[in-house]
Amino acid sequence: MDLSALESRFGQRGVQFERLGEDLCVVRLHSEHGTVAIALNGAHVLEYCGADSKAVLWLSEKANLENGKPIRGGIPICWPWFGPHPDDSEQPAHGFARISQWELVGILGEHCGGELGAEFRLTDSPSSLRMWPYSFELRYRVRVLPGALDLELVTSNQGDRAFRISEALHSYFGIQSIHSATVDGLDGVHYLDQLAGMERKLQTGNIQFDREVDRIYLDAPSKARINGSLSGKQIEIESRGSGSAVVWNPWIDKAMRMPDFGDDEYLEMLCYETANAGPHSIAVDPGQDHAIGASIRAL
């Protein structure tokens, strides 16, 4: 990817292009309301800080910053399937959107206005069609708004057959300690425990972490809050167009098994993912769109 071509097409005050790691091409947006950095690989949000410059998201020290590889941390897009492929273990986990090269199609708003954002696009290609035989267009809008990072992923069916997707905006949040962090807002909500053969269980009270947690919350309420974030502020996630929320922390053994995750890093992150997963997969008819979105704010 040619940084100078991007610079001359999209460069303006508050918009910069840089190369990170091996070969990642990254667009960084900076306004009075905060900063966001997004890699074209996966249209992956790597970093977000609000106006106070405090980091909200977590990125592993061991993340692969390489085109074609998933990035551990930030906000991977899981699409068109969430988790392992339903019947082909050779296919990439969490789908191919997060390891595909997206196109930057436009800058939204201005440095000095109320918002600054970027819009990305991914369409079917010979390689996507080998993994998933449908014609599609994805549009992803990432915007820094006053007090919030706003994400919107729109799936369009461009073919002549209906398809079904599962998906997630797989946000990794930085926390002070997993031993004291909690997630509020899911009291009384049922979840599928991915660590107990998808057994259906009931959440009582807030979510606390004292072991590996890997859950798909069903019919999750639109708002949840993380307590114990890095900045000390509560983080609110307001989801749109999603039926589920996934909460994940790998804990000790799984952390040690993941090559792109430090052994002790489970202490400093948790994932709260705006999702349509498990029974909440979405059918999209030819010519139709489906949108999922999240607004992340430090309160």
Task: State the catalytic residues.
Answer: 170, 273
Among 14, 34, 42, 70, binds ligand BG6 (CB under 6 A): 70
Size of the site for ligand BG6 (CB under 6 A): 10
Separation between Cα atoms, residue 148 and residue 143, nearest integer Å = 8
CB of 260 to ligand BG6, least distance (A): 8
Q: What residue is closest to ligand BG6 based on CB? A: 93
Instruction: Say whether residue 297 binds ligand BG6 (CB under 6 A).
Output: no
The count of other CB atoms within 10 Å of the CB of residue 298 is 24
Bridge partners (DSSP) listed for residue 283:
164
Distance CA 27, CA 17 (A): 5
Q: Does 256 bind ligand BG6 (CB under 6 A)?
A: no
- Closest CB to ligand BG6 among 77 and 118? 77
Q: Is 67 in the site for ligand BG6 (CB under 6 A)?
A: no
- Going from the C-alpha of 53 to that of each of 37, 50, 80, 135, 181, the distances in angstroms are 13, 5, 33, 40, 21
3-state secondary structure of 218: strand
Q: Using an 8 Å Cβ cutoff, are 140 and 153 in contact? A: yes
Q: Is 246 in the site for ligand BG6 (CB under 6 A)?
A: yes
Nearer to ligand BG6, 14 or 74 (CB): 74
Span 138-177, contacts to ligand BG6 by CB under 6 A: 170
Closer to ligand BG6 by Cβ: residue 29 or 270: 270
CB of 266 to ligand BG6, least distance (A): 12
CA distance 145 to 147: 6
Can you tell me which of 214, 236, 265, 268 binds ligand BG6, judged by CB under 6 A?
A: 214
As measured in angstroms, the least distance from the Cβ of 96 to ligand BG6 is 12
Distance CA(99)–CA(78), nearest Å, equals 10
Pick the closer one to ligand BG6 by CB: 274 or 295: 274
Q: Which two tokens stand for residue 164?
A: 């079904």
Q: What is the x/- site pattern for ligand BG6, positions 79-118, by CB under 6 A?
A: ----x---------xx------------------------
Total Cβ atoms within 10 A of residue 83: 18
Separation of alpha carbons 136 and 157, rounded Å: 5
CB-wise, 99 or 104, nearer to ligand BG6? 99
- Quote the radius of gyration of the chain (alpha carbons, Å): 18
For residue 280, state whether it binds ligand BG6 (rule: CB under 6 A). Answer: no
Dihedrals φ, ψ of 108, to 5°?
A: -110, 130
State which of residues 194, 244, 249, 274 lies at the interface with ligand BG6 (CB under 6 A): 194
Contact 120, 151 (CB under 8 A): no
HSE at residue 140, side-chain half, CA atoms within 13 A, is 30
Q: Which one, 17 or 209, has the nearer CB to ligand BG6?
A: 209
Cβ 247 to ligand BG6 shortest distance, Å:
8
Cβ of residue 208: shortest distance to ligand BG6, in angstroms? Answer: 18
C-alpha distance across the termini of the chain, in Å: 37
Q: How far is the CB of 273 from ligand BG6 (least distance, A)?
A: 6
Q: Residue numbers of the site for ligand BG6 (CB under 6 A)?
A: 70, 83, 93-94, 170, 194, 214, 246, 248, 273
